[in-house]
Structure formats: C-alpha cells, structure tokens
Structure 1
Amino acid sequence: MFKHLLSSDAVDIDAPIERAWDILMDVERYGEWNPFTPRVTTDFELGSRVDLYAMIGPVALKQVERIESVDRPHLLAWSTKIGHRFLLSALREQRLEALGETRCRYLTTDAFAGLLAPLVMLLFGNLVRRGFNDVARGLKAHAEAASSR
C-alpha cells in the first residue's frame, strides 16, 4: 500500500498553547485567519462529521471528514476516505506543543494511504503543503494578535 505524509512547517507562536487551541476550536471564525480552510462545520464529537471548505489553489472544494481525536490542548485530528480504504484514506492531525507558559509550536500533517495516494500527491501535494503553511502562519498571526490585546 502506498503511504505519503504531508506536513506544514513547524511554527513557533508567541502565545499560550490554550489561546492557540481556542482559535483552532472556534471553527465559526476560521474565515478571519485561515485562508486554506476558511469554513469548517463540526461539533467535535468523536466520529462526528466535519465539513471542510478548502481552497486548493484557486478552486474551492467541500470535503467531508470525521473527527478522530480531540485531546485538549494538544491534538485535533480528522480523517476521510474515498471509496474503500485501499483506494484512499487520509488522517489530518493538528498538533500544539507548549514551549513554556507564553509560547507554543504548531504543526499539521496529513497521512495519505491507498492506491490513489501517489496520484493525489502528484496533483495536489504542493497545493496542500502550501495551504498547511498558510494555516500555520495564519494561526500564528491570529494568536499573537490576540495575545497583544
């Protein structure tokens, strides 16, 4: 089975981990800071539906996923599959790590697996990586702006 891991750059945020976590959990305000997924709807219950509205380059796509993990304030994860898992599955993890009382680090990854994973990487890998870095920078700017108030 083919497996590929995409990740953002790790970004250090000059704000407490709780502040960054609260921003990640406030999906109703994603449009204020998140250019890659400006709209997300979910209730964060394990197994519940996540509707992601992602910008893949200039194209807006709706992706339906499922909540896999909510571990405050360290991990938010959701997954998807296309057809059977052997065709394509993906697990997105957004991780926060405390670097002290007033700093944290953010990293997001998406683990793709299945027969279609190489094609997804070829067609969309660079766009997704760029989008993940946009999320990381947007979270940093938004959390730091909130901390300076």
Structure 2
Amino acid sequence: MKELKTEINISAPKEKVWDLLTDFERYPNWNPFIKSIKGTLKVRLRLEVQVQPPDSGVFKFKPRVTSFKYHQEFSWLGSLLMYGIFDGHHIFEIEENNDGSTTLIHREEFSGILVPFMWKQLNTKTRAGFELMNEALKKLAEDESH
C-alpha cells in the first residue's frame, strides 16, 4: 500500500470548512481537482466523481462511501475495473485547532497490483491536485469567514 498525504491549516472554523467540503454542488465553482461529485454522502452509497489532476485528463469513477462522521471525516473507496487491481481510499479529515483554525488532512491510500506502476504519476500529478484543492478550499473558507 502507498499513501498520499497532504494537510493545510485554514483560518476558519471547522464547521465552515466542513460545509464547503460537503457542498458538492459548489465544487465546479472553486475546486481545481475534484471537478464534480454527485450523490448522497451516506455510508455504503455510491457517488459519481470526476477528478482532473494537473496536466491530465478527466477521470470518472463511482466510489462507495466508507465513512461519514459529521464535522470530522468522510471517505470513499474507488476501484479501477475490479477490486484489487487499483483501489483508492480517499479520506478527508477535519481537526479543530485551539486557536479556532482548522487543519484539513486530505489523503488517499492506494492498493492493488497496478499501484507500483502508477506511483510516480500519483505522487506528482495527483499530489499536486490535492494541494491545489487544499489551497482553493483554504482561500474560499477564509474569504467567507472574514
């Protein structure tokens, strides 16, 4: 298994960060990485997700929601073709800091037989996509909180 992990500190309350992160209808307006999410954020249900890492095409998939903890975390598991070939467990975690700011931990755990062959691209383009999304969310949350 390989993991991509990014995090960012956002000068906004965790409720604001959560609200923006789970307001999928607004994603096309601000999110440079996850172009769209359709569906209900409920464990075991499927979402329709479109991501576009920098300098890459759009990738569409239908992951299953694996966790939902209000104002704390949500995640999904997506697979390429079938489980075990290339699986991505995408996780968003929100932590409230003592100063009223919020830390967003944005990570993905990759497993399956294709991961070693795709790791270089994941660790560059996909990581850059995570970081662009984190920065865009930070700007939006801070702008709307002040």
Same fold (TM over 0.5): yes
Q: Which residue is 1:114 aligned to?
A: 112
Q: TM-score w.r.t. structure 1 length?
A: 0.91
Q: 1:34 maps to what in 2?
A: 31
Q: Which runs of 5+ in 2 are unaligned?
A: none
Q: 2:52 aligns with which of 55, 73, 91?
A: 55
Show structure 1 runs of 5+ residues with no match.
Answer: none
Q: Superposed, which structure 2 residues align to 1:54-93 within 5 Å?
A: 54-58=51-55, 59-93=57-91
Residues 17-70 of structure 1, C-alpha deviation per residue, up to 9 Å, x if partnerless? 000000011000012221001211121111111111111233122122111111
Q: Which moved more, 1:31-40 or 1:118-127?
A: 118-127
| Aligned residue in 2 for 1:5 | 3
Moved over 6 A (4+): none
Match of 1:15 in 2: 12
Work out the CA distance in 2 between the residues paired with 1:63 and 1:84: 12
Alignment size in residue pairs: 145
Q: Identity over the aligned pairs, expressed in percent?
A: 23
* 1:105 equivalent in structure 2: 103
2:53–2:128: 8 Å Cα contact kept in structure 1?
Answer: no
Instruction: Supply the distance in 1 between the matched residues of 2:32 and 2:42 (Cα, whole angstroms).
Output: 24
TM-score under structure 2 length normalisation: 0.92
Query: In the TM superposition, what is the alpha-carbon distance from 1:101 to its structure 2 partner?
Result: 6.2
